[in-house]
Amino acid sequence: MTPSTELQFSDGTVKIIKSKLEPIKMQVATRSGNKKVTLVSNLEAYGFNLLEMARVCQHGVAASCGVTRTPGAKCDQLMVQGDQTHFIAKLLIEKYGLPKKYLEGADKALNKKK
């Protein structure tokens, strides 16, 4: 039997995915020098619109945001200027109601003192 996942959205629609759902991955990468960016991948699998998420993050942390595609990746990823893992984890859990078990890299971010 093939593993499948059922996603229920707040507007009442149901989406069935016929594969195992990968968690949302958050990681901090270093760019030139001491510059850091937060990369969030696999958001599209959960039904998030990346351009809308970029706009919400841009207003929430007053930082530059964008949608990028890495070579060899299946889907696009959200790129936020600076180490914003705490904000993004809190946004996904509290505003969008995503369970913490579907966020990879959120445990370290939520334990930070801000």
- DSSP 3-state of 103: strand
Does some domain include residue 45?
yes
Q: How many domains does the chain have?
A: 1
For residue 49, the 8-state DSSP code is -
For residue 108, the one-letter residue type is K
Does some domain include residue 42?
yes
Tokens matching residue 20: 């195992």
CATH of the domain at 89: 3.30.780.10
pTM score of the predicted model: 0.82
Structural domain that includes position 75: 22-110
- Whether 16 has a pLDDT exceeding 90, the answer reads no
39, 29 Cβ separation under 8 angstroms: yes
- Whether 86 has a pLDDT exceeding 80, the answer reads yes
Does some domain include residue 12?
no
Which whole-number Å values give the CA distances from 109 to 38, 103, 106, in the listed order?
11, 10, 5
- Whether 5 has a pLDDT exceeding 70, the answer reads yes
For residue 96, the 8-state DSSP code is S
Report residue 82's pLDDT band, with 50, 70 and 90 as the boundaries: very high
Give the percent of the chain with pLDDT over 70.
94
Q: Using CA atoms, how far apart are residues 97 and 102, in angstroms rounded to an integer?
A: 11
Residue 114: its pLDDT value, please?
Answer: 54
Residue 112: its pLDDT value, please?
Answer: 65
